[in-house]
Amino acid sequence: MTPRQRDEKRAQLSSAHLGRVYRSLADEHAERTARLREQETWQRISAKASRSNWSLLERLAPKPAYGGTLFPAAIHRGWWAALAAAVALGVALLWLGVPEQNRAPGFSFEVDGQSVSSRWIHAENDDVSLRFSDGSAVQLRPQSAVSVALEGEHGARLRLSEGSLTAQVVHADATDWRFTAGPYEVRVTGTAFDLTWDGVQLQVQMHEGSVEVTGPNRGRWTASGTELLELGRQPEARLAEKDDLSSETLEQPSAEDEHFGSAREGTDQTARRGRTRAQAVKSWAEMLAAGEFTDILRDAQRQGVDHSLASRSASELSALAQAARYAKQPAVSERAWAALQQRYPSTAMAKEAAFFLGRVAEQRGQAAAAQRQYRAYLNDGKSGQYTGEALGGLMRLLRTADPSAAEAYARRYLKSFPTGPYARLARELSGAPSR
Amino acid sequence: MAGRPIPAKGICLVPVRPADANDEAPRSSSSVQGNHEALFAEIRQGTSGWQQHAFTEFHGLVRGLIVKCFGPAFEAEELVDDVFLRFFESAKRIRSADRVQSYIVSITMNCVRSELRQRKRAALTSAGADGTEIQDRPSRDDPKAKAALIQLGAVINELDPEERAVFVLRTVQGMPLVEVAEVLGISLSTAHRRVRRATEVVMKRVQRNALLCDYVLERGGKLR
C-alpha cells in the first residue's frame, strides 16, 4: 500500500468505527478485571454497607455470599425481631406511664414520605425531600448526599458531604440545628437558606433569618436577609493540601491547623453546650464506619501525622490506614499499617497489616513489594481472614513473572479454597481440571 | 438540575440518526432499556438477596462504563462500590422493569461525572494515562491491543466530563441519542451538540496518530 493510499484509508476512519474498536478493547479489559475481582468487589460492597449501618444491611443479609457469612447477626433475624418487639413494648409501656403534660413530642423525620433508618441520604437525579416533625424541611438537590442525626427534640445535625440543599428551619425557643460541610459549621435557630459545598468552597445563600458560620483559623461569619456568603480556599490550596498529606513535609501541624483546632472548641462555648459529647469525641473507628475518610485524615494532619502514628491505638491506626486507602492516599495508608506492625506486633491487626500493605503496593504498581508483603502475611503461621486474597494476589502477580511459583500458590489455593473466587485462575495456572 | 429531557413547544426534536457523518449511529447500537422483569419484581418485593442478583447482573456493565470513561489505568474499585451502594439505597424508586438498567447506567454516569469534576477541581491528572500504572498488572496477550487501549483512553481523558459521558454512551456504548439524553438528564439537542463536539476532538487526535489509526482500522475490519 502506498503512503497516499494509506492516508486516504486513514481519512475514512469514522467515529462509529472508532467507537466499536474502543468498546471492544475496553470491554475485554473490563471483563477480565471483573472476572478476577467480582467476588472480592461484592464482599467489599457488602462490608461497606455493613459498616455504614445502612438500612440495606438487613436486606442484604439473608444470603451469605461465597461460602462466608457476611452479616452473621442477620442469621438470627428471628431473635432480632423478638428483641425489637420487646424493646418496642417496653417503650410503649413507659410512654403510657408518663403523664400527658410531660410527654415529649418525639423528633423524627421522613424522606419523601417514608421514614428511614439510613444515616446517609443520597439524591441522584431528582430532589429528595426531608420533612421533620417540627415542621422544618430540607430539600436535597440532585447529586448530593447528607447524613442526619437528631439531637433531642429541637436539634439536628446534618453533614453535607457534597452537593447542595435548601433548608427551612422552623424557629422554636430551643431550636439548635447545625449543618456541617467540610471544615465549616452553620448554626441555625430558624431561617431559610441554600447551602452548597463542592469539597472546596462553601456557599450560603440566605432567603430569610440569619445564620452564623464558623470555620478554620477562628473564622466566624454571619449572614442574614438575602445575603450570599462564599467561603473556601482556592483549588490550588486544596491541591497543595492533598499533596502535602501524602508527603513528609506536613508531618507537623500548620499554624492554621493549630488555630483550627482551638477555634472549633473555643468559638462559642455557650452555643455549643447542646452539642452532644459523643459527636465531639467521635472515634476514628466511628468516623470510618460513617464514611468520613477525609475527616480522619484531616484529624491526623491537625495533630501531625508523625504524632498520630506514634501515639494512636492499634484500632485507630487501622482506621487511619483504611481511611487513607479509601481516600486514595496510599502513602499515608502504608505508613499507618507500618506503624501498626511496629508498635503492636503481636496483635491480629498487625498480621492483617501485611496483607493490606501488599494490597496498597499492588495498587501502586509495586509488584515486588506487594509479593513480599503477601508472602509475609502467608508465612505468619495460621491461616488468616485474607489468606485466600493473598494467595490470589500472588497468583496474579506471578503468573507471567514466575509461572512455577504461581503454580505452587495455585495448588495451595485450590487445596484450601476449591470453590473460592480465584479457583478458576488457580485451575488455569495449576493445570487442574475445571469443575 | 437534572431532569428528563422535555421537548420545547414548537421545536422539532433532533433526529436520532443525524445525517452528518461525524455522528454516524453506531452499528451495534445497544439500548439500555433492557427488560429485567425478575429483578424488578425482586426489588419491589424486597426479596432477600436482590442486591446480589443486581450486582451479578450489572457488575460487568458498570465496570465497563467506568473503564471506557477513564481508560484502563484507572483504579475503578471505589467507583464501582459507590455505584452499587447508591443503587441499593435508591432502587425502590424505579418505576418499571425496562428502567432498571437505565437507572444504574444513570447512577454510574453521575458517579463518573462527579469523580471527573473533583479531579478537575483538584487539578489532578489521570494517573497512569500514559500506561505506567498498569505495567505490573496481568498483561494482555496482544501488546498492540494494550497500547491501543491505553492511547485511546488517554484521548478520551482529554474530553471534559460532560462531553466524555455523552461520547462514551453514544459513540462507544452505542446507545440511542434519546436514551443518552434521558440517562444524563439533558436535552436531546444538548446531547447531540456534545456528541458532535467530542467526536470532532477525538477524531482529530486519533487521526494524528498514524499507528493508532491503522490499528483501529485493522481491528475494526475484523469486528465487522
Tens-digit pLDDT profile for residues A135-178: 888 988 877 788 887 777 777 888 887 788 999 888 877 778 88
Between positions 60 and 99 of B, the ones with CB within 8 A of A are 60, 63-64, 66-68, 72, 75-78, 80-81, 84-86, 88-90
Of B63, B76, B152, the CB nearest to A22: B152
pLDDT tens-digit profile of A14-40? Answer: 888 888 888 888 888 877 777 667 777
More confident residue, A277 or B52: B52
Q: Give the model's pLDDT for residue A120.
A: 66
Mean pLDDT over each residue of chain B, to the nearest integer: 74
CB < 8 Å to A55, chain B:
89
Let me know: does A140 contact A128? Beta carbons within 8 Å. Answer: yes
Candidates A15, A23, A28; nearest CB to B24: A15
Cβ pair A19:B216 closer than 8 A: no
Helix, strand, coil percentages for chain B (3-state, nearest 5):
65, 0, 35
Q: State whether B219 and A21 contact (CB < 8 Å).
A: yes
For residue A238, the chain B residue with the least C-alpha distance is B122
DSSP string, A6-70: HHHHHHT--HHHHHHHHHHHHHHHHHHHHHHHHHHHHHHHHHHHHHTT-THHHHHTTS--TTS-S
* pLDDT beyond 60 at B91: yes
Average pLDDT along chain A: 71
Q: Is B205 on the interface with A (CB under 8 A)?
A: no
Q: Do A49 and B173 touch (CB under 8 A)?
A: no
CB contact under 8 A, B49 and A63: yes
Cβ distance A231 to A219 under 8 Å? yes
Tally the C-alpha atoms within 13 A of residue B156's C-alpha that lie toward its C-beta.
Answer: 32
Q: Output the pLDDT for position B129.
A: 38
B/e letters for A238-256, b = 16+ CB within 10 Å, e = fewer, are bbebbeebbeeebeebeee
**Of A218, A244, A353, which Cα lies nearest the Cα of A298?**
A244
For residues B25 and A15, the answer to whether their CB atoms sit within 8 Å is no
Per-residue pLDDT at A324 exceeds 70: yes
CB-based contacts of A422, cutoff 8 Å, min separation 6: A36, A388, A391, A392, A395, A413
Q: What is the pLDDT of residues A201-217, one digit of tens each?
A: 788 888 888 888 887 65
Using a CB–CB cutoff of 8 Å, tell me whether B45 touches chain A. Answer: no
Please name the helix (run of DSSP H) or strand (run of DSSP E) that holds residue B196, with its range, or none.
helix B188-208
Q: Say if the Cβ atoms of B64 and A199 lie within 8 Å.
A: no
Question: Closest chain B residue to A52 measured between Cα atoms?
Answer: B85
Q: Please state, as a whole number, how many other Cβ atoms lie within 10 Å of the Cβ of residue A179.
A: 26
Q: CB under 8 Å to A155, separation ≥6 — which residues? A: A107, A174, A175, A176, A177, A178, A274
Residue type, B161: P
**A145 three-class SS:** strand
In this predicted structure, what is the pLDDT of residue B90?
Answer: 84
In tens, the pLDDT along A83-137 reads 666 565 555 444 444 333 333 346 677 777 554 544 567 777 778 888 888 888 8
Mutate to test the interface with B, among A125, A161, A164, A202 (most CBs of B within 10 A): A125
Identify from A70, A114, A124 which residue to disrupt to test chain B contact, counting B C-beta atoms within 10 A and taking the largest count.
A124
Backbone φ, ψ for residue B74 (5° rounding): -70, 135
CB contacts < 8 A, A to B, total 212
Interface test with A, best of B39, B57, B58, B68 (most A CBs within 10 A): B68
Q: Do B138 and A15 touch (CB under 8 A)?
A: no
Residue of B nearest to A198 (CA): B118
Rounded to an integer, the average pLDDT of B123-152 is 56
Min mean pLDDT across A25-29, A168-172, B18-22, B160-164 is at B18-22
Is the separation of the CB atoms in A127 and A62 below 8 Å? no
Q: Residue B167: pLDDT above 90? A: yes
Nearest residue to A358 (alpha-carbon basis) of A395, A383, A308: A395
Contact A28, B46 (CB under 8 A): no
Find out whether B183 and B170 touch, Cβ atoms under 8 Å: no
Give CA–CA dist B123/B1, Å, rounded: 25
CB contact under 8 A, B223 and A328: no
B156 contacts in chain A (CB < 8 Å): 22
User: Does the distance separating the beta carbons of B174 and A15 come in below 8 Å?
Assistant: no
- What is the SS3 assignment for A329? coil
Rounded CA gap, B96 and B167, in Å?
Answer: 27
ipTM above 0.90, yes or no: no
